[in-house]
Copies of this chain bind each other. A is one copy, B any other.
Amino acid sequence: MIADTRTNAGLDNISVFRKLHTFSEPGERIVAIASAGNLSITQSVLSILREGLENPATGERETLMNAPTMFQAGDVKFDVSFLFGGQIKGERPRLYMIYSAGNFIECTTDTPYLQIGEHKYGKPVLDRAIRFDMDLYDALKVGLVSVDSTMRSNLSVGMPIDVLVARRDVCAAELTYRIEPGEPYFTDLRERWSAALRAAHASIPRVPYKNAR
């Protein structure tokens, strides 16, 4: 899961705010949430998830740390969108995108990635490269290229970038990292990608079209 940290209330009121939140009892469960949209609602949702909601069926107070299944943990209805993913020991790993209307879709072999927020600029890179069975760190690399494309085209997306890697059946974070501006690997990735795109353009022949008229 990858998230930027830029929030804004107008172009002259830009702040850094964490949008990727991880809840984990290592070896038992890891649950991560990334949010897009209204910040006050996002924070309310996170507070409610931390404090818990009463399950009407059992009368018990359920939080992200004791919800029995990922499905029950994902049933949230507010006017923002979320990526919600993780694994509870004994279940398979699951990743959901929760729309502002409260409905949601789940990541599958046919839909191997999900995006929220400003998703269009970075989508072509993902469509071409992300496969369900690819290496986890190749997927991370492609995800960072996608975020870079989005940041270049839209000022409302910006560094630093939070990264979470969680491997199947570990039920703990394998990597938690914040990429700060100027960080050497990400700077190199951006430059290599730009150079590769320029080279790709150069390697394509010009159009041979002649007027049919």
List residues of chain B with CB within 8 A of the CB of A107: none
A142 at interface, CB cutoff 8 A: yes
Chain A 132-183 residues near chain B, CB threshold 8 A: 137-138, 140-142, 144-145, 149-150, 152-153, 163, 173, 175-177, 179
Contact status of A137 and B197, CB under 8 A, knowing A124-B121, A124-B124, A176-B211? no
List residues of chain A with CB under 8 Å of any chain B CB: 120-125, 127-129, 137-138, 140-142, 144-145, 149-150, 152-153, 163, 173, 175-177, 179, 185, 188-189, 192-194, 196-201, 203-213
Docked-complex contact B176 and A204, CB < 8 angstroms: no
Q: Which residue of B lies closest to A196 (CB)?
A: B200
- Copy number in the complex reads 2
User: Taking CB as reference atom, which chain B residue is nearest A184?
Assistant: B208
**Beta-carbon contact of A152 and B127 below 8 Å:** yes
Cα distance A63–B48 when bound, in Å? 62
Pairwise interchain contact B194-A197, C-beta atoms closer than 8 A: no
A204 touches B145 (CB 8 A): yes
Selected from B145, B185, B192, B210, the residue in CB contact (under 8 A) with A208 is B185
CA distance A206 to B175 in the complex (A): 13
- Inter-subunit contact A201/B138 (CB<8 Å): yes
Given contacts A124-B150, A129-B197, 17 further A-B contacts (CB under 8 A): A120-B153, A121-B123, A123-B153, A127-B152, A141-B207, A175-B207, A176-B211, A177-B211, A179-B209, A185-B208, A185-B209, A192-B200, A192-B203, A192-B204, A193-B200, A193-B204, A199-B200
